[in-house]
Every structure is written in structure tokens, then in C-alpha cells.
Structure 1
Amino acid sequence: MTSLRFSGLAAVALLAAIGGCKGETAAKETVSEHGMTIKPVTITTADGKAHIFKSEVAANEAQQQQGLMYRARLAPDAGMLFAPYPPDGGPPKAASFWMENTPNALDILFIRADGTIATIGENAVPFSQAKVESGEPIAAVLEIAGGRAGELGIAAGDKVTWK
């Protein structure tokens, strides 16, 4: 009997290990049709509400230069995270973005090194070459659909996190 009990426990342990391996496979990063990793980005507002955006990560210079240009649509819970900014991983610096070849209005959230929002360029005008400026050194930028920041009560000083 003892050997059967031990065998049963061994089988349970083996099944748990196999299940653990499956979980690791399922935890692989999701990649967008544009070849960028997709990560959840959470914005926690001053009143404690958390808003999660499924964001493509523009992590290198080419991806950051392309951004959301030529994208026909951006879902309300989607975004693009420019991180690190600058893409060479250097220290935070002031940034300016424009909307050339971008057909959708965007809210551009400039994020400090401490994860707080410095400024928001709200409803940046599609196809405009006017610069939307951070106003101070920043470490990341999150672009979301135009008007979403206002709809959700997102403001300067709110906290932005991602893994």
C-alpha cells in the first residue's frame, strides 16, 4: 500500500510539473501583427481607479519613428508605449511628437522616470505636423485614442505602470 500511495503522490507531482510547463508556454509574450510586443499598461488615477490599456511596445528607434502612423483604427482599450524613451536607453529627455501620417486623434501621455504623467497632449490633430511637447524630461510615452484621457479622468500626476 505504501508504494502505491507513493506512486500516486509521484504521479500527482509529475502532473503538476507538466501543468507548470504548460503554464510557462502560455506565458509567452504576445506579439502584434506589426511585430511589437503587447503589454498591459495600467494608469491609476488620483481617485484610485485603474485603467488598463493593451499596448504595443515601441522599444527601438525604428518602431518609435513609425509609431501609430497609417493605422486605420485604435481600439478604446489599446495604446502604444514608447519605452524606453529615448530608445537608446539614455537618460530621460524632453520629447516632441507629431501626427504626420496618423489618421486618428490621439492623447499623448508623457511619463516621467518615476512613472507619473508629466503632461498630456489631448486630442492631437490627425495628420498635423504641429509638435506636441512634453515640457520636461520624460522616460516613456503612451499614446491612446484621442479623448480617452478626458473620458476616464486621467490627468497629470496619475501613475503609469507596466512590466
Structure 2
Amino acid sequence: FAQTSVMRLPADADPLIIETRAGEKTFSIEIADEPHERQRGLMFRQSMAADRGMLFIFPTESRQGFWMQNTPLPLDLLFIGADGVIRAIARGVPFSTASISPDVQSQFVLELPAGTAQKSGIEIGNRLRHPRIGAPAGK
């Protein structure tokens, strides 16, 4: 039987900071670093505060692929290299099964409420700071 419940992970104790040209933007994040957490992500989530997000952590850098199946919340997806630098930004359309897979290598993907990147001045080339970014996998 299909799961239709919302997965809620605890907010990480450390904020995620994005260094933009307009200054630092701070987000409280949930971390999805286990395969089942990355698979479920923000499915079935109806809303998310503007200063919240979900950081997906993968074991290694590669071309990551996402979709929006069972996700009613429109999202910005930030594809981030192992060095913490944003390499691509994509828009997630609610319930779409189209692949979101920019032609970049990334180890992290940050999902934020749609429009957050533009409103906050977040751009490709900005750097993210968080203890898990730049740390060995699994730490």
C-alpha cells in the first residue's frame, strides 16, 4: 500500500547560511541523508515557512535527479557542489513527474519554497555554509 503521510524530520540544530551579494540568508533546515528520507522528501507537504528548507545530502557528487510526484508545494531546487557552491537552480512544479536533473555535478540539493531564491537574491555561484557541507559523507 502507498504511504501518503507527510515525513517530518527534526529541524537541524545548525542553521544553513547562504552567502549572497545582498548579505547572508539564514534557513532552518531538515536534513534528508538516508535513502528513504531522500526518496520521500517533501511529498504531501502542504506548506513550509519562508525561512525553512530541506537539505538532501548524497554520498558523492553526481548528476542528481528529482521530481515533484505527490508534492503539492511549489519549490525552488538548488543543486550544490561538494564545495558548497550553487551550480544550478530549478523550479519544481507541484505534482509533476518530469525529471528535474540539471547537467551539473552536485552532492547537495536544497529545496526551498518557490520564489525564495529570487526574493532572497540567491544565485548560481553563491556559497552555502553548514557543518554537513564540506564534511566527509555520513558525518
Same fold flag (TM > 0.5): yes
Q: Which one-letter code corresponds to 2:83 in the other structure?
A: D
Q: Which one-letter code corresponds to 2:102 in the other structure?
A: S
Question: Distance in 1 between the 2:11 and 2:25 partners?
Answer: 19
The partner residue of 1:77 within 41, 51, 59 is 51
SS at match of 1:71: coil
- After TM superposition, the structure 1 = structure 2 runs for residues 92-111 of structure 1, keeping only pairs within 5 Å, are 92-111=61-80
Which segments of 5 or more consecutive residues in structure 2 lack a partner in the other structure? Answer: 1-6, 132-139
| Cα deviations by residue, 1:22-59 (Å, 9 ceiling, x for unpaired) | xxxxxxxxxxx8244524111111x2511111000001
Tell which has more relative contact order, 1 or 2 (C-alpha 8 A, sep 6+): 2
> Contact 2:67 / 2:98 at 8 angstroms: preserved in 1?
yes
Question: Distance in 1 between the 2:74 and 2:11 partners?
Answer: 23
Q: Which one-letter code corresponds to 1:107 in the other structure?
A: D
Partner residue, 2:88:
119
Q: Which one-letter code corresponds to 1:108 in the other structure?
A: L
Cα deviation, residue 134, structure 1: 2.9
SS at match of 2:15: strand
Cα deviation, residue 111, structure 1: 0.2
Question: Distance in 1 between the 2:103 and 2:37 partners?
Answer: 23
> Contact 2:77 / 2:90 at 8 angstroms: preserved in 1?
yes
Partner residue, 2:42:
68
Partner residue, 1:54:
28
Flag the structure with higher helix content.
Answer: 1
> Contact 2:9 / 2:31 at 8 angstroms: preserved in 1?
no
| Cα deviations by residue, 1:70-103 (Å, 9 ceiling, x for unpaired) | 11111100000011x1xxx2x3100111100001
Q: Which of the pair has more CA radius of gyration?
A: 1
The partner residue of 1:43 within 8, 11, 18 is 18
Tell me the TM-score normalised to structure 1 length: 0.72
SS at match of 1:56: strand
Question: Distance in 1 between the 2:84 and 2:101 partners?
Answer: 18
Kindly, what percent of the aligned residue pairs are identical? 37
**Measured at CA, do residues 152 and 35 of structure 1 come closer, stay the same or move farther in structure 2, by a change above 3 Å?**
closer
Equivalent residue pairs, number: 124
Tell me the TM-score normalised to structure 2 length: 0.84
Q: Which one-letter code corresponds to 1:111 in the other structure?
A: I
| Cα deviations by residue, 1:2-34 (Å, 9 ceiling, x for unpaired) | xxxxxxxxxxxxxxxxxxxxxxxxxxxxxxx82
Flag the structure with higher strand content.
Answer: 2
Q: Which one-letter code corresponds to 1:160 in the other structure?
A: L
Q: Does 1:154 align with 2:129?
A: no
**Measured at CA, do residues 134 and 36 of structure 1 come closer, stay the same or move farther in structure 2, by a change above 3 Å?**
farther
Partner residue, 2:134:
none
